[in-house]
């Protein structure tokens, strides 16, 4: 495959950030984009809605289907998958992008936050995969790509935010399990994680913990994701990819265009020793 023309991508949390960047990259190649997110009206702190995202997708050259979806709700996700398949004649790719973050120690983690991270990250990833798989199994090159880290049991990645690490690793364990379970059916199930911190609206929710000027833009994840999604699903599964490594494999040597600001020391992302 050379591009994603005519392919249908179901992207959770695609109204902003990395999810939207992937949507726009795929749309520029002529893909159909299902924007499955819960923001239907402007958020007081975060930019973008499913409708503004849909406008951008159409301008980029793709076809958009904005759907109000809270991935914690089984009925909403199931209905969205059915509507997507009926609208575009199937689903070829699922991007598990939606995620919740709360970086805090155990004594400072309210159970409400713990539950949210597990409902969105682990349950949401598993459920989105479950409802899309019947459609993916009919595709000629089906992919599930989840934005989660390689499984790294170094205690340093648990020490300061055990709850968040458990939730993100739950997404990664879903990748590990599904890649084995559906390997014979030819469904590619992979994970993708950034080498450096990505500048998204989520950073603002961390209370200034990260300087955006020392980050990369979401486009590096979008470019890496689309490179993976163009591969043969039967020969590319069970991998925990790092964005920079994927692009180096594609011949990219200059990563300065992805930097928010030139010349700054970039923050390495979590979970990578």
Backbone angles phi, psi at 93, to 5 degrees: -145, 135
pLDDT band at 1 (very low <50, low <70, confident <90, very high): very low
Give the relative orientation of helices 50-60 and 17-27 as an angle to the nearest 10 degrees. Answer: 30
- Residue 53 CB coordination number (10 Å): 24
- Residue 85 near residue 9, CB atoms below 8 Å: no
For 131-162, the pLDDT digits (tens) are 999 999 999 999 999 999 999 999 999 999 99
Q: Which residues pair with 196 in a beta bridge?
A: 268
The model's pLDDT over 59-95, given as tens digits with 9 standing for 90+, comes to: 999 999 999 999 999 999 999 999 999 999 999 999 9
Confidence of residue 238 (pLDDT cuts 50, 70, 90): very high
pTM, entire model: 0.96
Which has the minimum average pLDDT: 195-204, 217-226, 251-260? 195-204
Which homologous superfamily is 8-258 in?
NAD(P)-binding Rossmann-like Domain (3.40.50.720)
CA–CA dist 271, 156 (Å, integer): 9
Catalytic residues: 164
Helix (H, G, I), strand (E, B) or coil at 96: strand
Task: Tell me 261's DSSP state.
Answer: S
In the predicted model, what is the mean pLDDT of residues 94-116?
A: 97
Paired sense of beta strands 240-242 and 188-193, if any? parallel
Mean pLDDT over the full length of the chain: 95
The pLDDT assigned to 207 comes to 66
pLDDT, tens digit (0-9, with 9 covering 90-100), for 173-218: 999 999 999 999 999 999 999 999 999 887 766 666 788 999 999 9
């Amino acid at each position: 495959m050379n591009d994603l023309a005519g392919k249908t991508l179901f992207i959770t949390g695609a109204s902003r950030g990395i999810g939207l960047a992937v949507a726009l990259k795929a749309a520029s190649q002529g893909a159909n984009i299902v924007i499955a997110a819960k923001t239907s009206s402007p958020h007081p702190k975060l930019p973008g809605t499913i409708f503004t995202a849909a406008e951008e997708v159409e301008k980029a050259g793709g076809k958009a289907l904005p759907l109000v979806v809270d991935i914690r709700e089984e009925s909403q996700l199931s209905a969205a998958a059915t509507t997507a398949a009926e609208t575009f004649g199937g689903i070829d790719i699922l991007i598990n992008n939606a995620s919740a973050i709360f970086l805090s120690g155990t004594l400072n983690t309210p159970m409400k936050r713990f539950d949210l991270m597990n409902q969105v990250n682990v349950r949401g990833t598993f459920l989105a995969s479950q409802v899309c798989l019947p459609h993916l199994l009919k595709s000629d090159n089906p992919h599930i790509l989840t934005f989660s880290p390689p499984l790294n049991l170094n205690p340093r990645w648990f020490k300061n935010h055990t709850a968040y690490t458990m939730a993100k690793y739950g997404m990664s364990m879903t990748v590990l399990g599904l890649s084995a379970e559906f390997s014979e059916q030819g469904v590619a199930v992979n994970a993708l994680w950034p080498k450096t911190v990505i500048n998204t609206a989520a950073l603002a929710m961390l209370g200034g913990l990260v300087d955006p000027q020392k980050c990369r833009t979401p486009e590096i994840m979008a470019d890496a994701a689309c490179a993976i999604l163009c591969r043969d699903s039967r020969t590319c599964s069970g991998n925990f990819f790092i964005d920079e490594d994927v692009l180096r494999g594609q011949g990219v040597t200059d990563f300065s265009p992805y930097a928010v600001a030139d010349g700054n020391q970039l923050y390495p992302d979590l979970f990578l020793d």
